[in-house]
A and B are shown apart, each in its own frame.
Chain A
Amino acid sequence: MMSAYIDFIRMRFLTMLAYRVNYYSGIIIYAINIGAYYFLWKAIFGEAEVLQGFTLAQMTTYVAVSWMARAFYFNNLDREIANEIRDGSVATQLIRPYSYLLVKMMQGFGEGLFRMLLFMVPGMLIVCFIFPVRLPSDPLTWAVYLVMLLFSFLINSQINILTGLFAFFVENNEGMMRMKRVMVDLFSGVLIPIAFFPGWLSAVMQWLPFQAITYLPSAVFTGRTPLHEAYGAIGLQIVWFVLLLLPILFVWRAARKRLFVQGG
Chain B
Amino acid sequence: MKYAVLLWEYIKNYAKTRLTYRADFWIEVLSDLMFQGMNLFFILIVFQHTPSLGGWTEAEVVFVYGFFMIPYGLFTTFFNMWNFSERYIVKGEMDRILTRPAHNLFQVLLENVDPPSLIGSAVGAIIMAICWNDLGLAFHAYDLLMLLLFVIGAVLVYGGIYTALSALSFFSDAPTGIVPLIYNIQNYGRYPVNIYNKTIRFILTWVLPFAFVGVIPASYFLEKKSDDISQLALLTPVVGIVFFILGLSLWNYGVKRYRGAGS
Contacts and interface: CB of A to CB of B under 8 A. Distances in A.
Contact of A32 (B49, B54, B185): B185
A175 B31 contact: yes
SS of A interface (majority): helix
A197 B196 CA distance: 24
B52 to A, nearest CB: 8
A52 B49 contact: yes
Contact of B45 (A35, A36, A198): A198
Contacts of A84: none
B200 interface: yes
Interface in A179-208: 179, 182, 185-186, 191-192, 196-198
Given A29-B181, A174-B27, A196 B38 contact: no
B226 interface: no
Contact of A186 (B41, B176, B196): B41
A51 B49 contact: yes
Interface in A200-225: none
Contact of B184 (A22, A29, A43, A179): A29
B48 A39 contact: no
A25 interface: yes
B139 interface: no
A25 B180 contact: yes
Nearest to B35: A182
B45 A192 contact: yes
A171 B20 CA distance: 13
Interface in B43-99: 45-46, 48-50, 52-54
Nearest to A26: B177
A20 B229 CA distance: 42
B34 A182 contact: yes
A33 B182 CA distance: 11
Nearest to B180: A29
Contacts of B28: 175
Main SS class of interface, B: helix
B21 A172 contact: yes
Contacts of A45: 50
A116 B52 CA distance: 38
Given A43-B53, A191-B42, A33 B187 contact: yes
A40 B195 contact: yes
Contact of B188 (A36, A52, A198): A36
Contact of A35 (B48, B192, B200): B200
A186 B31 contact: no
Contact of A36 (B176, B181, B187): B187
A28 interface: yes
A178 interface: yes
Contacts of B192: 43
Contact of A179 (B21, B31, B195): B31
B213 to A, nearest CB: 15
Contacts of A51: 49-50
Interface residues of B, number: 35
Nearest to B176: A25
Nearest to A197: B45
A232 interface: no
Contacts of A44: 46, 49-50, 53
B23 interface: yes
A44 B61 CA distance: 13
A46 interface: yes
Interface string B1-32: 00000000000000000000101100110110
Nearest to B44: A198
Contacts of B177: 22, 24-26
Contacts of A33: 184, 187
B42 A179 contact: no
Contacts of B49: 44, 48, 51-52, 196
Contacts of A191: 38, 42
A55 to B, nearest CB: 14
Contacts of B244: none
Closest A-B pairs by Cβ, 3 of them: A175-B27, A25-B177, A43-B195
Given A35-B200, A40-B191, A44-B50, 19 more contacts: A24-B177, A25-B176, A25-B177, A25-B180, A32-B185, A36-B188, A39-B200, A42-B195, A44-B53, A48-B49, A52-B49, A174-B24, A176-B27, A178-B31, A182-B31, A182-B35, A185-B38, A192-B45, A196-B45
Interface of B: 21, 23-24, 27-28, 30-31, 34-35, 38, 41-42, 45-46, 48-50, 52-54, 176-178, 180-181, 184-185, 187-188, 191-192, 195-197, 200
22 contacts: A25-B177, A25-B181, A29-B181, A32-B181, A32-B184, A33-B184, A40-B195, A42-B195, A43-B195, A44-B46, A44-B50, A46-B52, A51-B49, A52-B49, A172-B21, A172-B23, A174-B27, A175-B30, A176-B27, A182-B38, A191-B38, A196-B49
